Structure 1
């Protein structure tokens, strides 16, 4: 295995199409609450609109030679963008600043799990998110049934805030201080 991590630009997101679509299939396979909601979720309906609406994006892909192994997509967006026709993801009044940070999509192909890829991608995402002085609140949304991801984020310092859509999504939240403390002692 020869893993490399590469930040790609917004206009290169097409490289994530297959990975993003695999993520939606994976999430549906784990879901026990309203799995049919994933039927309309794919690269074109999830990643493309999110990248276009965000103020700032970071997409990191992991390659094993020429094969894509995974990716993480994080963004900075106005807090109001998290209240839409699909759901209200958090109470905007509970956010101190006008923008929030979000680790929006995270996927690693099965054969690359358990090699530290997830921790490295998480670290790169948090490091990037913390560059923004005007962001104090960070969110991660975990689909129901994905208990492994939920526990991973909790070990990284995120706390369960609440559930939305009758338990379809668990909202995890952290502040800049808590996340920095949780990752500053790690050498990744």
Structure 2
């Protein structure tokens, strides 16, 4: 393995298309509550709109040589962006500031897990998120059935806040 980490701009998100779609398929394969909700989720419906609605975006890709094998997408967004026709992701009144930080998408190809890649990506994202002094609340949304991700985030200081959509998504929160 010859891993490198590269921050890319929002204009370069096309580089994440295949892995984003792989993430949606992975989440569906693990889901035991309403897996059919993933049928309409893909790069075009998840990543592109999120990037366009965010105030600030941070995308890191992990490469093994020239091949992208993982990525993390974090953003700073108005808290109202997390209340839409799909769901209200958290009690907006519980967030005192107008904007929140979110670890929005996080995926590493299976053969690259357990080598510290996830920890490195999370640390890079949290360092980026913490530079915004006005942000006090950080969120991660974990799909049902993805227990490894849930445990990973808990080990890294996030706490389960609540479930939404009858357990389809577990909301994790961490304060500054």
Q: Is TM more than 0.5 here?
A: yes
By how many angstroms is 1:96 displaced?
Answer: 1.7
What TM-score do the two structures reach when normalised by structure 2? 0.99
Matched, 1:18 2:18: yes
Q: 2 CA distance for matches of 1:69 and 1:46?
A: 19
Matched, 1:43 2:43: yes
Deviations 1:123-148 (A, max 9, x none): 00100000001100000000000000
Q: 2 CA distance for matches of 1:127 and 1:169?
A: 25
Q: 2 CA distance for matches of 1:41 and 1:175?
A: 28
By how many angstroms is 1:116 displaced?
Answer: 0.3
Question: How well do the aligned residues superpose, as a CA RMSD in angstroms?
Answer: 0.4
User: 2:98 matched to which residue of 1?
Assistant: 98
What TM-score do the two structures reach when normalised by structure 1? 0.93
By how many angstroms is 1:38 displaced?
Answer: 0.3
Written as runs of structure 1 = structure 2, the 5 A alignment for 1:139-158 is 139-158=139-158
Can you give the 5+ residue segments of structure 1 that lack an aligned partner in the other structure? 177-188
User: 1:117 matched to which residue of 2?
Assistant: 117
User: 1:89 matched to which residue of 2?
Assistant: 89
User: 2:133 matched to which residue of 1?
Assistant: 133
Q: 2 CA distance for matches of 1:147 and 1:172?
A: 13
Q: 1 CA distance for matches of 2:101 and 2:162?
A: 17
Can you give the 5+ residue segments of structure 2 that lack an aligned partner in the other structure? none
Q: 2 CA distance for matches of 1:8 and 1:138?
A: 21
User: 1:71 matched to which residue of 2?
Assistant: 71
By how many angstroms is 1:69 displaced?
Answer: 1.0
